[in-house]
Amino acid sequence: MRPLPVLAVLSGSVVAAVSAWAQEPAVEESARVLEEVIVTAQKREQGLREVPISIAVVDGETLRAWDLLELEDLSAGVPGFTVTEAAIATLAYMRGLGSGINQGFEQSVGMYVDGVYAGRGRQFRASFLDIERVEVLRGPQGILFGKNTVAGAVNITTARPTREFEGEFSALGDAEHGEYQFTGMASGPLGETLSGRFAAKAGGFDGWLYNTALGRDEAAVDDIVLRGALRWEPSDRFGFDLKLEHSDYEVDGRTIQITEAGDFGPFFSAFDPAFEDALDTRKSVAGIGVDRSDTESDLAMLTATWDADRFRLTSVTAWSAYEFLDERDIDFGPVPYLFQTEPQEFDQLSQELRLASTGEGGFDWVVGAYLETSELSTLKAVDADLSWLGVPLPPATRQIGFDQDTDSVALFGQATFTFLEDWRLGVGLRYTREEKSAQQFLRFMDFRTNIPNPVLGTFYAQAGFGVPHVYDQSRDEDDWSPQLSLQWDVTEAVTLYGSAARGFKAGGFNEAEESGDPDNFEFGNETSTTFEAGAKMRLADGAARLDLALFHTTFDDLQVSTFEGIAFVVGNAARATSQGLEVEGEWLITDHLGLQLSWTWLDATWDAFPDAACTVEQAAASGLGPACTQDLAGRPTLYAPKNSGRIALAWTDTLSGGHGLDVQVELVHSDGFYLEQDLDRAEYQPAFQKLNLRLGWRSPGAAWEMALLGRNLTDELTRHHGSDVPLLAGAHYSMTDRPRSVALQVRRFF
């Protein structure tokens, strides 16, 4: 697919800028120096160049200026990283690997907020509020961050209380889609040794998909987040940080539509004459119930630090919990035959202790211990009325209940030795032990009375809808995860590094198991081994930086979840290899013009996947139906475009009278990629480019700022998830991305 003309324009601008850079006198270049990017990827504040990891960093000001609301918005501009909502789950993929759809899974990409683990898929939907920075750490991060980071980790740091008063209020509106966002923050001293910070956000959204069956736009969103933080510093050596947070996220409807009806087009039209199956901004979904979702989450954490002469002791104690209720029309069309209700509750308590050196004497080290306990409870009820399809089965409710308790303990250490003045050797090791116990039942209830009915169970089991059963199982496992790195400061501006690391994701239990065979209830752990070589360069006398990373990762015993027409089947059934090149660059071309570049070339393929589910066409041709399998060895993994990237230009200037103007334009590109495990072409997203633009004005003194935000100005219609429609072979659904939008943003600084 040929890039849009604007790509050529921006590429030409880059070439011209490079030429100007090469010809510009050094004295001019030295006046422009990029600010040092500080990260905590190794549990201490360090410059980006000091960390032998491929990292993409997005600062809080960028999040606020572009009104990026959550990780899904951010990931659209970070190549090789995808966070997306699926039909019944949230997915996180990095370098082409991630976890599939199953409530028993933790994510293969770990997320940490102020050092607290948040690995459940629903937690990846949390709204951004008053963020200092987001670090996307590519590759296994098992030493300091722990298990379940076989593909990578996301390290989010929220803003802390300040000793000087500061405040901000912002408002944003998009009339076309009915979007509004109000955000406020105030921070400052509350006493000689006490500081506080409070932030709040309230927002809403009407949606952009018109549902012809219900006569309304979807998905409508209401979002509230509240956070309070206190910092107490009784002396120069002691510090205590307390953070409390509450959020409520409600959604009415979903961005889901049938994009290929197969032979069922006339059938759908009989229920909604306006039905059509094109990928556009119209949908037709109605049936037994209406799509709704409500998620409430809470967090309380206390961080305590003690600074001695040569080390720092840190304690992080945290409690986090959420509960949600999802009501989903899971036939995704206008026919009332399938509807799912799922309440879920999750509680987690964790404690981490770290002892870290101050970095003196050429020897840096950190050692620690981690404890975590969590409880997960979910009840998935599917109402099925197949009489509309002419199926001779009585209406029934199919229930799967799942409860899981997890206890995890880990010891870890990492040390960096400096030798020969400009060489650094890093070694790390983590030991993890985890115990899990789970209970699951599958039963069929009378559709009208909601009373268990064994006769219905027999009917539906014979039709392939699952065998009634009760499981109660437990498992325990341990793992050693090592890491080794070598860095060489070639010059003051160039550092080369190489690293090797092993990642580990714990095994668990298949929340959706329905066969009645206990052996299918449990699955084992998965592991990854990564080799990476890179360069981190500071160029043009500090006016530019360029980071390069070559990586090769092998994944063994991958936990895969495959949809087989009715349910998802889970197992350790695959091996895969992910390799490629990542580029992160930034350049202050002039005093007023800056360039950012982020690019990934990725080759992520299955090495072995002999029992992958067939596509609908393959299953029909084989005559085996759901029992059909295919071997995907040599085929690409999901969310793995060959090339993906972002290029951005930012111009800023101060006019007479002190008024400021800035223009930011960015182009995001992605090659095509698959959305579903069976690699059906109906679930393939072709290559695309999206153009974003921000036009800003600042008042004299920068107390006020106003901006016009244009996203996806080329109005590309793309999809972030897709699969087969249950029971209707040949029909497919998609979850669509937002089309073109234009919003007005106003910010007031105090």
Closest Cα partner for 114 from 426, 311, 352, 306? 352
Task: Report pLDDT for 24.
Answer: 42
Centroid of chain to Cα 429: 26
Average pLDDT on 393-406 reads 92
Average pLDDT on 150-176 reads 95
Cα separation, 410 vs 143, in Å, equals: 10
Measure the N-to-C terminal CA separation of the chain; round to a whole number of Å: 48
CA atoms in the 13 A half-sphere facing the CB of 216:
14
**What percentage of the chain exceeds 70 in pLDDT?**
95
Q: Is the confidence at residue 58, as pLDDT, over 60?
A: yes
Number of H helices and E strands in the chain, helices first, is 7, 44
Domain ranges of the chain: 5-749
331: left (phi over 0), alpha (psi -120 to 50) or beta: alpha
Element (H, E) at 428: strand 423-446
Q: Is the confidence at residue 260, as pLDDT, over 70?
A: yes
Segment among 146-150, 561-565, 597-601 with least mean pLDDT: 561-565
- In the CATH scheme, what is the code of domain 5-749? 2.40.170.20
Q: Is the confidence at residue 3, as pLDDT, over 50?
A: no
Which pLDDT tens digit goes with each residue over 447-487? Answer: 777 788 888 888 888 877 889 999 999 999 999 999 999 99
Tell me the residue type at 112: Y
Average pLDDT on 297-311 reads 95
**Which tokens is 482 given?**
């090592």
Cβ pair 410, 370 in contact under 8 A: yes
Which pLDDT tens digit goes with each residue over 499-522? Answer: 999 998 999 999 988 888 898 899
Query: At 30, is the pLDDT very low, low, confident or very high (cuts 50, 70, 90)?
Result: very low
Cα separation, 83 vs 337, in Å, equals: 30
Which pLDDT tens digit goes with each residue over 70-124? Answer: 999 999 999 999 999 888 888 899 999 988 788 888 888 999 999 999 978 888 8
Cβ pair 144, 366 in contact under 8 A: yes
Q: Is the whole-model pTM more than 0.75?
A: yes
Nearest 5°: CA angle at 509, between 402 and 684?
100
Task: Report pLDDT for 27.
Answer: 38
How far CA 76 is from CA of 222, 223, 535, 618, 659, in Å, comes to 22, 21, 25, 33, 32
How far CA 173 is from CA of 178, 663, 692, 740, in Å, comes to 7, 19, 17, 14
Cα separation, 95 vs 25, in Å, equals: 40
Instruction: Mention every residue, 6+ apart, whose C-beta is less than 8 A from residue 550.
Output: 532, 533, 534, 580, 581
Write down the mean pLDDT value for the chain. 90
Q: Is the confidence at residue 17, as pLDDT, over 70?
A: no
Closest Cα partner for 723 from 521, 610, 567? 567
Element (H, E) at 460: helix 454-462
Closest Cα partner for 551 from 574, 527, 528, 575? 528
Task: Report pLDDT for 138.
Answer: 94
Task: Report pLDDT for 566.
Answer: 59
Cα separation, 733 vs 335, in Å, equals: 14
Task: Report pLDDT for 12.
Answer: 41
Task: Report pLDDT for 388.
Answer: 72
Cβ pair 735, 87 in contact under 8 A: yes
Task: Report pLDDT for 564.
Answer: 60
Which pLDDT tens digit goes with each residue over 335-344? Answer: 988 999 999 9
How does DSSP classify residue 636? B
Segment among 116-120, 538-542, 694-698 with least mean pLDDT: 116-120
- Quick one: three-class SS letters along 648-707? EEEEEEECHHHCEEEEEEEEEEECCEECCCCCCHHHEECCEEEEEEEEEEECCCCCEEEE
